[in-house]
Amino acid sequence: MQGKRFGALIAATAAAVLFLPFTAAADDPGSGQGGKAGPSVPAGVKLTTELPKQIKVDNKAGTTSGLTAKVSNGGTKDSGPITLSVLGLGGMKITGVDGCIAIPKGRLLKGVNSGFACVMDNLAAGKSKSYQVSATYDLKAKGQICLPVTEGTSEKVFWQQGPIPFGTTKPTPNAPDTPLLLGTDNVPAGPAQPSEAPGSGGGLPKTGAGVALPAGLVGGALLLVGGGGIWWTTRSHRAARH
């Protein structure tokens, strides 16, 4: 089998993402808010991601609509192989990303409930690629989404947006759906579920003032890999590229 011949590939995308702190201005209307570039981005490559400013969630079914994930290269040089991951936390669960591979639950960091890895051979300078994302949202909890972009199947993070919340401060339980705004903490429509609060899983490494970086994370690697790496066969890898 091809899978056995070539073996499995490690994609260090979301298994143990080191969630970066972000500071988004209160008046920042951009859908790239909450994003931060990693220190290992090659000269001439400028990768960013974008999320919609607003999505909706069906109050009965809990399904979302209008959710997309876009990755762009605003630089002057091609990116080379990259992987975009779409991760759900708390009340937001990612159920599908068109053309991408589901990350096994056993490979997700504690605190991340779902994720998909989107492998690209290259993203040319000045080009972008959008993915349709399917997700569910529990309006009784707070939900977040995270978009890290890594170099190929390596541990180098070129860009990471989030974890950033989608939510509403004005629940509309009697309406057909509820609009959710990017960068807004959700006010639960019912009793809050502490176990669903972002970061409550206790497994999300953090950086920032007063928090020491884990050993070995000096300079480029903003992603913790090792036993938590995501594996898929060459066949699956090829399927994700189409």
Q: What is the pLDDT along the chain (242 residues), one digit of tens a residue?
A: 433 322 233 233 333 344 444 433 333 344 898 999 988 899 999 999 999 999 999 999 999 999 999 999 999 999 999 999 999 999 999 999 999 999 888 888 878 999 999 999 999 999 999 999 999 999 999 999 999 999 987 778 899 999 999 999 988 888 999 999 999 999 986 655 544 433 333 343 333 223 232 322 222 233 332 223 333 333 234 444 44
d(CA 10, CA 229) in angstroms, rounded, equals 6
3-state DSSP call for residue 237?
A: helix
Instruction: Give me 50's structure tokens.
Output: 């974008």
**Model confidence, pTM:** 0.73
Under 8 Å between Cβ of 168 and 238: no
Burial of 171 (0-12, 13-18, 19+ CB in 10 A): middle
